Structure 1
Amino acid sequence: MIRLARTVLGDVPAAELGSVDAHDHLFLRSPALPGEELDDPRAAEAELTAFREAGGGTVVQWTPRGMGRRLADAVAASRATGVHVVAATGLHQAAHYEPASLARDMDRLTDLFVTDLTTAPVRAGLVKVASGFHGLDAHARRTMTAAAEAHHATGAPVAVHLELGTAALDVLDLLCGDLGMPPASVVLGHLGRSPDARVHLEAARSGAFLAFDGPSRRHHPTDWRLFDRLTALVEAGHAGQILLGGDTTTAGARREGPGMRFLLRGLRPRLEREFGEEAGRAVFVENPGRVFGWVRAAPRTHAHP
């Protein structure tokens, strides 16, 4: 059976995604980041163009509901550049929302997520949720429960913002233990921000996908640890679960660079020198195709003009 990824332009065979930036943002806004909105369609299109020229095929945008996804602009940028864009539904931490809008949606999260994944005019290809720092508060448990319910209804993967890289095992206990999700449909994000090799290995043994993000000035403290963490995972046999993404979240980070293209012009050559070309293909092509290629239904018409 062909695995399909749900992009903003329709369903695409996972084998056609090409090299993937597995965690990034074309558009994003939050009251927690005033004045740092990613809301410029021309800048987003320029980023996608640079990524395509570096050999990129797909960008997975983790921006959830209520944080400026700008889906119409994502559609336009994908059409203009020929780069596939996978959008997210879901909900971030409560701090990223106005209390009134958050309260309005909390009792219907599962329905909202399923609609975004299945019948919305521009459909999402994953559910994004978030943990707290070293634990799960009531908001995290409610949003993760809805995300798991949406997964069971649709098969969509669930990607988790781990606050400063913490609480990975708590997340797995909830999603895969209490809520019955298969670990292979869970992506744990920001793991490099808490470089605990033992936690990373335990999470990998569960079967979940492990996402490391950066580089940018905002995330630079994680950069120098990246290859030590990757080495530990590759040597333990978990190369087939690693994902890499740029995770540019602010206008300042976009201006400062190095941008999405650095994943393919900077990190991928280093990764292949360290672990071989097969590992590079696994991290950038095969692993994203397996976790984001989830759709079982026949694809809608998909064509870039």
Structure 2
Amino acid sequence: MRQSQPARAAVRTVLGDIPAAELGVCDAHDHLFFRSPQLPGQELDDPEAATQELCAFRELGGQAVVQWSPFGTARRTDALPQVSRDAGVHIVAATGLHQAAHCAPGVLERVTHRLAELFVAELTEGVRRDEDPDGPAEPVRAGLIKVAGAFHGLDAHARQVMTAAAEAHHATGAPIAVHHELGTAPLDVLDLLCGRLAVPPTSVVLGHLNRSPDLRVQREAAESGAFLAFDGPSRANHATDWRLFDSLVTLAASGHADQVLIGADTTTAAARAASGGGPGMPFLLRVLRPRIVRELGEEVANAFFVANPARAFAVEWR
């Protein structure tokens, strides 16, 4: 297993920076608040429902959630601090920008000419309201930069956003988390971020890799040193549950257990366990973690849920 982050490295939560060792059992990719034109009528916009979901996760031992909702997706950073306090769970918020199709109308026109500036400000000063990027900062700082690739490649929008994210990383040290459309193009992302843009692979989290269960590509991505996020349980159409353990076992056997992250990626109200029918956040600890223990052992399960996220999201902030 890799060594832990230096003692001064901190995870930036919505209630302030905490030592990496205090993050605890972590859902490494999820959404408490999220709105997309692609998901009409399924908005996550209810603080009470978010708190209920977090409490259900906490009752099973959950201690932290990383929200990957970036600028322009109604991430409700105004509500996150109170939700965190009420549930007793650490929350990490995101800056960054999703695919153009997921952004609220008018967002791109207001911010694409100064993305790096926006990302740095939200990481160091405080996030802006999605509808008013020039307004006063909320008393919440982002702890990661969310970006997104395209299907089987990188379009012009993805390259522009990733270039700005790399600039913001170099200015702050913040990790970059990547949405891969249907799990594709992780090697293209690594070529751009870690090759041309010189972002250290250990500061990159590749998301949704379970949606394209190509074991050779996953292993090649792991060999770069990046973190690999497997998220979205019980989405059978995305090959999540029934192929997940092929990936986890292969990566562990190849010596990459210390790079795997697990998340629920709850993007719709219907997917919540506490109020929508599930599986939601609790599924990670109620179902997946015991299966991981049976298949790979307690040490590996602890790496996936505790040690790895503590390293992936801890930064010596600049």
Q: Same fold (TM over 0.5)?
A: yes
1:156-305 correspondence runs (5 A)? 156-217=174-235, 221-254=239-272, 255-296=276-317
* Counterpart AA for 1:112: L
The Cα of 1:154 is off from its aligned counterpart by 0.3
| Structure 2 length-normalised TM | 0.91
Tell me the alpha carbon deviations over residues 191-233 of structure 1, each in whole angstroms, 9 at most, x when there is no partner: 0000000100000000000000121447663210000111110
CA drift at 1:101? 2.3
- What is the deviation of 1:252? 1.6
Distance 1:220 1:50, change over 3 A: farther
Say which SS state the counterpart of residue 79 (structure 2) adopts.
helix
1:106 and 2:112 matched: yes
Among 60, 80, 91, the residue aligned to 2:86: 80
- Which amino acid is the alignment partner of residue 315 of structure 2? W
Cα distance change of structure 1 residues 122 and 105 upon mapping to structure 2, 3 Å threshold: same
Residues 6-27 of structure 1, C-alpha deviation per residue, up to 9 Å, x if partnerless? 0000000110011000000000
Question: Match of 2:132?
Answer: none
- Higher mean C-alpha deviation, range 141-150 or range 92-101: 92-101
Letter of the 2:205 counterpart = V
Partner of 1:137: 155
Percentage of matched positions with identical amino acids: 68
Unaligned runs of 5+ in 1: 298-305
Cα separation, 2, equivalents of 1:98 and 1:280: 37
Q: Give 3-state SS (helix, strand or coil) of 2:32's partner.
A: coil
Q: Supply the RMSD in Å over aligned alpha carbons.
A: 1.2
Q: 1:218–1:253: 8 Å Cα contact kept in structure 2?
A: no
Q: What is the aligned partner in structure 1 of residue 77 from structure 2?
A: 71
> Does the CA contact (< 8 Å) of 1:216 and 1:253 recur in 2?
no
> Could you report, residue by residue, the CA deviation over 1:25-60 in whole angstroms, capped at 9, with x for unpaired residues?
000001111111001111100011011110011000
Distance 1:296 1:144 in 2: 20
Runs of 4+ more than 4 Å apart: 217-220
Contact 1:243–1:287 (CA under 8 A) maintained in structure 2: yes
Whichever residue aligns with residue 112 of structure 2, its letter is M
Partners of 1:213 and 1:247 within 8 A in 2: yes
Within 2, Cα distance between the matches of 1:296 and 1:113? 14
- 1:98 offset after TM fit, Å? 4.4
Q: Match of 1:264, as an amino acid?
A: L
- Counterparts in 2 of 1:260 and 1:151: CA distance versus 1, 3 Å: same
SS in 2 for 1:72: coil
**For residue 9 of structure 1, what is the aligned residue in structure 2?**
15
2:215 & 2:24 partners in 1: Cα distance?
A: 29
**SS of corresponding position for 2:11:** strand
Corresponding residue of 2:134: none
Which one has a larger percent helix, Structure 1 or Structure 2? 1
Equivalent residues, number: 297
> In 2 relative to 1, CA 272–6 (structure 1 residues): closer, same or farther, beyond 3 Å?
same
Alignment counterpart, residue 89 of structure 1, candidates 87, 95, 99: 95
d(CA) in 2 for partners of 1:137 and 1:220? 22
Check whether the contact 1:133–1:164 (CA below 8 A) recurs between aligned residues: yes
SS of equivalent residue, structure 1 residue 102: helix
Residue 95 of structure 2 aligns to a residue whose secondary structure is strand
Q: What letter matches 2:163 in structure 1?
A: T
Task: Kindly state the Cα deviation for residue 292 of structure 1 after the two structures are TM-superposed.
Answer: 0.4
**Structure 2 CA distance, aligned partners of 1:221 and 1:35?**
25
For the residue of structure 2 that corresponds to 1:262, the secondary structure is: helix
Are 1:23 and 2:29 counterparts? yes
- Distance (Å, rounded) in 1 between the aligned partners of 2:236 and 2:179: 16
Which stretches in structure 2 are left out of the alignment for 5+ residues? Answer: 1-5, 127-138
Give distance in 2, aligned partners of 1:123 and 1:98: 21
